[in-house]
Amino acid sequence: MKTLLKTLSSGVIAATLAMSSITVQAADTIKVGVLHSLSGTMAISETTLKDTMLMLIDEQNKKGGLLGKKLEPVVVDPASNWPLFAEKTRQLIQKDKVAAIFGCWTSVSRKSVLPVVEELNGLLFYPVQYEGEESSKNVFYTGAAPNQQAIPAVDYLMKQGVKRWVLAGTDYVYPRTTNKILEAYLKAKGVKTEDIMINYTPFGHSDWQGIVADIKKFGSAGKKTAVVSTINGDANVPFYKELGNQGISAEKIPVVAFSVGEEELSGIDTKPLVGHLAAWNYFMSEKNPTNAAFIKKWQAFTKNPKRVTNDPMEAHVIGFNMWVKAVEKAKSTDTDKVAAAIIGVKVPNLTGGMSEMLPNHHITKPVLIGEIQANGQIATVWKTKDLVPGDAWSDFLPDSKNIVADWVKLKCGNYNMVTKKCSGQVY
C-alpha cells in the first residue's frame, strides 16, 4: 500500500512539475495574433500577410525576442467569413492571451473585429487601405486613408485629362464609403453627375461581360474616361480578363486599382492589365537599399526567389516594428501603455523614408501611382514629394469635415471641432 501511495505521490509530483513547466514556458513567450483569411475569396490577398507576420516574428526572435521573451505566433483562419473574424478575435484575446493582433483585409472584417477589441481592450494593427471615417483607441491603421490613396489617384487622372469617371467596387463598406468621398470630391471639382457612373458587385463576382459592356458604352461619349476600382479579392481576375476580351486597353479607358498589387498579379496572365494603374504607398519595384534587403529576406524566408512583395506587407512591416519599439519603450505589453508609447514612434518604410505614428492612430506615408508591367511588376509613374499624414475623417463629407481624431490631447477619435464634443470612445 505504501509503495502504491508512494508511486501515486510521485506521479502527482511529476504531473505538477510538468504543468508548472508548461506554465513557465507559456509565461516565457509573448503571443502575437495573426488574423488573416487563409481560405475563401480573400485568401488570394491575405495568405501572404500571414507569411509576412511569421517572417517578422521569426526575425525578431533571432534578435533575442522582446523584453527577454520569445514571440509566439498564434495563427487563425477566419476564412473570409466576416462574423468569424469577431469570433476568432475573441478567442485570440480571451483564450490565447495575445499581446496584439495583426490582421484583417476588408473593412467589413475590421468592422466585425472592432467592437471585440474595444470591449476586451485588445490591440489591432490593420494593414490595408480603407475608407477612413474611423479612429479607435484600440486600432492602429497602417494602411492608407483616402487622402493617402484615393484622392491623389483621382488628382493624377484629372491631370491626364480624364473627364468621365466609373467608380467600380465590391459591395461592402470600403468601396461604398470611398466612392461616396470620391463622388463628393469630383463634384466639388466641377464634374457633373452624368459624368459619374457607379457600380457594385458581390465578393467573388465572375460574370463581368455586361458590366464591362456598360463601362465601354459609358466611355464612348467623346470624353476621356477612367475606372477607379475598389474591386477586392479574386473578382479582379475575371474583371481584367473581360476588359481585355472587349478590347478596353489602358490607352482607351485606364483603370486605377486600389486593391490590386504584385501578389494579385502573380500567376495570372498580365497581358490585359499592361498599362493600367495601381495606387498604393509602396511597390516592389522601388529601388533603395531598405527595400532590396527586405525583398532578399522575404524570398529567402519563403524559399522562393520569385515571391513578390506588396503594399499591405509593407504596412505590416511598419506596424510590427512600431509595436516592437512601443513595447520596448513602455517596458510592457499592456494595451494602454503600448498605445500611449507608440504615438510619435518612427520606423523605416520600404520606400526609403521614415513613417511616424500620429495621434489619430494613422501613419505618414508616401503616395505612389504605378503602371502595371507585362512581368507583373508595377513601375512608379508618379510619387508625392513628401510623406502624407493619414487623415481619419474626410474633409469632403458634410458629416465628417468638422471631425478630428486625437488620442493624445483630445483623447478622442471622433471630436467635433464646432460643438467641442466627443462622440463614442474616449480615454
Domain-wise residue ranges, the chain: 32-144+290-366, 148-280
**32-144+290-366: what CATH class?**
alpha beta
Contact present, 378 and 262 (Cβ < 8 Å): yes
- The position carrying cell 498580365 is 270
Query: In 3-state terms, what secondary structure has residue 69?
Result: strand
DSSP 1-66: -HHHHHHHHHHHHHHHHHHHHHHHHHHTEEEEEEE--SSSTTHHHHHHHHHHHHHHHHHHHHTT-B
What residue has cell string 481592450?
Answer: 121
Q: Which pLDDT belongs to residue 250?
A: 94
Q: What count of residues does the chain have?
A: 427
Q: Which pairing describes strands 364-365 and 354-356: parallel, antiparallel, or unpaired?
A: unpaired
pLDDT tens digit at each of 427 positions of the chain: 444 444 444 444 444 444 433 333 446 899 999 999 999 989 988 999 999 999 999 999 999 999 999 999 999 999 999 999 999 999 999 999 999 999 999 999 999 999 999 999 999 999 999 999 999 999 999 999 999 999 999 999 999 999 999 999 999 999 999 999 999 999 999 999 999 999 999 999 999 999 999 999 999 999 999 999 999 888 998 999 999 899 999 999 999 999 888 988 887 788 888 999 999 999 999 999 999 999 999 999 999 999 999 999 999 999 999 999 999 999 999 999 999 999 999 999 999 999 999 999 999 999 999 999 999 999 999 999 999 999 999 999 999 999 999 999 999 999 999 999 998 776 6
The pLDDT value recorded for residue 270 is 87
User: Which of 365, 205, 378 has its CA nearest to residue 286?
Assistant: 378
- Beta partners for residue 225, in sequence order: 164
CATH of region 148-280: 3.40.50.2300
Closest residue by Cα to residue 248 from 268, 264, 270, 272: 272
Same fold, 32-144+290-366 and 148-280: yes
The whole-model pTM stands at 0.89
